[in-house]
């Protein structure tokens, strides 16, 4: 077992008659009152004992009165990221006009990094000797002390007339590619009512480099001519009337002018018979603010992608609005196989996992129903009306002819 050391300071230390300096166990020597200029040297006798042996040491403390008065003690410098050669950041060489020679002490770096910067203690030149990455650290702060070479007294890091602050900013370079958060492949459903000019999806790529402008282009895929993209926004529009049950594939490239990234987008056309409605016990605004997390958690539980089509305030069986609940209209996608799950399959799995899904909410309550698009009366075109009229005329004429023929036969 390690023995605890006990430290003591001789009260008869030279120059310490006013007890300006005190010893605190396991912390060190500290000031109990402000030092004056009447005593410029303190000689302290310190002992350390483990109750078996005792050792002594002598500590000399010099009081200095000639700190360097810097006209400007804050400096800034910049350096591009990815510089692979030793680069001088700043030259702090300073004179106070009295031909005094100064030395420079690096007190602190924020953040604390190793083997990255070197300070020449004689010339005050600060160098960077390692490649920097702005996306990792974009700013470094140095605290440096300039002292006359004949006086190397150490003090605290707190700003004093002899302390210099240097802030180094790392300049951004275009060294990162755009990135799609959805990954290299995105499978999503589109309504079977999608037609020419309809917005299908808005793709978004991120670029951690500052100021990069991302442009989007459809560069491949078997159905690249069936869709168009707005280059600056990533909005994809349909150029066709989609066919029910079909899958369309396009490749979209995001470029920052130097680097690029691709994503393959598969559009699965879904019919209303594949939709499911899930009622959850939170208000619509809360769902809208947390929809990404909620849908991701539900997808994790059920084992397929729950893709939102729309959401709204819950409507109960009496067609009353329940503002405390939200109806989620969705369809299920098997991302591995790349197909839409039949409504009954999604419905069955949601029911089987209902307790786990309900546990995501407080109170733990959900309701799931199948969804069918209500029948809408068909509005006939003028051509259809004309054809129907002709058909009726022909039918009536035929009936009259039959009646006349039957009458003639009886005669």
Q: What per-residue confidence (pLDDT) applies to 27? A: 60
Does residue 387 belong to any structural domain of this protein? no
Q: What per-residue confidence (pLDDT) applies to 370? A: 58
Q: 171, 188, 209 — which closes off a domain?
A: 171
* Residues 159 and 223 both lie in one domain: no
* Residues 160 and 82 both lie in one domain: yes
Q: 62, 83, 99 — which closes off a domain?
A: 62
Q: How far apart are CA 235 and CA 243, in angstroms?
A: 21
* Residues 341 and 305 both lie in one domain: yes
* Residues 277 and 361 both lie in one domain: yes
Higher pLDDT, residue 70 or 243: 243
pLDDT tens for each residue of 160-183: 446 789 999 999 999 899 999 888
Q: Return the percentage of the chain with pLDDT > 70, whole number.
A: 78
Q: What per-residue confidence (pLDDT) applies to 49? A: 80
Q: How far apart are CA 366 and CA 281, in angstroms?
A: 7
Does residue 398 belong to any structural domain of this protein? no
Is residue 152 predicted with pLDDT exceeding 80?
no
Give the count of beta carbons closer than 10 Å to the beta carbon of residue 352: 11
Is residue 155 predicted with pLDDT exceeding 70?
no
* Residues 284 and 304 both lie in one domain: yes
Q: What per-residue confidence (pLDDT) applies to 372? A: 46
Section 60-74 average pLDDT: 60
Q: Which range is most confident: 8-12, 121-125, 262-266? A: 262-266
Does residue 376 belong to any structural domain of this protein? no
Q: What per-residue confidence (pLDDT) applies to 63? A: 67
> E-strand spans in 111-234?
117-119, 125-128, 139-148, 163-171, 179-180, 185-191, 199-202, 205-206, 215-220, 227-229
Does residue 379 belong to any structural domain of this protein? no
Q: What per-residue confidence (pLDDT) applies to 299? A: 93
**Domain CATH number, residue 98:** 2.60.40.60
* Residues 279 and 363 both lie in one domain: yes
Q: What per-residue confidence (pLDDT) applies to 250? A: 96
Q: What per-residue confidence (pLDDT) applies to 389? A: 77
Does residue 406 belong to any structural domain of this protein? no
* Residues 191 and 158 both lie in one domain: no
* Residues 297 and 240 both lie in one domain: no
Contact between 343 and 275 (Cβ < 8 Å):
yes
* Residues 157 and 195 both lie in one domain: no
- Total domain count for the chain? 4
Q: What per-residue confidence (pLDDT) applies to 65? A: 53
Contact between 128 and 36 (Cβ < 8 Å):
no
H/E element holding 370? strand 367-370
pLDDT tens for each residue of 75-94: 899 999 998 888 999 888 76
* Residues 148 and 184 both lie in one domain: no
Task: Encode 287-314: b = buried (16+ Cβ within 10 Å), e = exposed.
Answer: beeeeeebbebbbebbebbbbbbebeeb
The answer to which of 18-22, 189-193, 209-213, 314-318 has the lowest mean pLDDT is 18-22
0.85 surpassed by pTM? no
Does residue 26 belong to any structural domain of this protein? yes
Contact between 196 and 240 (Cβ < 8 Å):
yes
Q: What per-residue confidence (pLDDT) applies to 117? A: 94
* Residues 253 and 316 both lie in one domain: no
* Residues 113 and 195 both lie in one domain: no
Q: 270, 299, 316 — which closes off a domain?
A: 270
Does residue 37 belong to any structural domain of this protein? yes
**What confidence tier does 34 reach under pLDDT thresholds 50, 70, 90?**
low
Q: Which range is most confident: 4-8, 184-188, 337-341? A: 184-188
Higher pLDDT, residue 21 or 355: 355
Read off the DSSP letter of residue 274: G
| Mean pLDDT across the chain | 80
**Domain CATH number, residue 315:** 3.30.70.3310
Residue ranges making up the domain that contains 337: 272-370
């Amino acid at each position: 077992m390690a023995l605890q050391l006990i430290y003591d300071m001789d009260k008869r230390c030279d120059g310490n008659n006013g007890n300006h300096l005190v010893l605190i166990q396991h912390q060190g020597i500290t000031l109990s009152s402000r030092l004056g200029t009447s005593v410029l040297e303190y000689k302290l006798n310190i002992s350390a004992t483990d109750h078996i042996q005792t050792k002594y040491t002598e500590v000399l403390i010099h009081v200095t009165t000639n700190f360097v008065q810097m006209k400007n003690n804050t400096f800034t410098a910049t350096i591009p990221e990815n510089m692979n050669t030793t680069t001088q950041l700043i030259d702090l060489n300073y004179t106070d006009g009295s031909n005094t020679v100064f030395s420079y002490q690096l007190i602190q770096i924020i953040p604390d990094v190793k083997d990255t910067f070197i300070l020449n203690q004689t010339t005050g030149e600060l160098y960077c000797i390692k490649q920097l990455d702005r996306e990792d650290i974009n700013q470094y702060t140095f605290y440096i002390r300039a002292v006359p070479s004949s006086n190397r007294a150490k003090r605290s890091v707190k700003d004093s007339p002899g302390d210099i602050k240097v802030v180094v900013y790392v300049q951004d370079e275009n060294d990162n590619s755009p990135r799609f958060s959805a990954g290299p492949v995105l499978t999503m459903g589109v309504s079977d009512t999608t037609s020419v000019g309809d917005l299908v999806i808005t793709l978004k790529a991120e670029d951690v480099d500052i100021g990069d402008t991302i442009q989007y282009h459809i560069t491949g895929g078997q159905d690249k001519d069936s869709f168009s993209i707005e280059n600056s926004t990533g909005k994809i529009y349909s150029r066709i009337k989609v066919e029910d049950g079909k899958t369309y594939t396009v490749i979209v490239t995001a470029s920052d002018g130097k680097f690029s990234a691709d994503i393959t987008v598969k559009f699965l056309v879904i019919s209303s018979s594949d939709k499911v409605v899930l009622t959850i016990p939170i208000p619509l605004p809360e769902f809208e603010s947390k929809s990404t997390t909620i849908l991701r958690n539900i997808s994790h539980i059920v084992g397929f992608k729950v893709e939102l089509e729309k959401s709204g305030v819950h409507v109960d069986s009496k067609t009353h609005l329940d503002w405390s609940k939200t109806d989620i209209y969705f369809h299920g996608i098997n991302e591995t196989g790349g197909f839409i799950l039949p409504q009954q399959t999604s419905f069955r799995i949601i029911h089987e996992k209902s307790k786990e899904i309900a546990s995501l909410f407080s109170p733990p309550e959900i309701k799931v129903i199948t969804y069918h698009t209500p029948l809408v009366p068909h509005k006939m075109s003028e051509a259809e009306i004309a054809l129907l009229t002709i058909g009726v005329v022909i039918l009536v004429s035929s009936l009259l002819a039959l009646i006349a023929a039957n009458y003639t036969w009886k005669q």
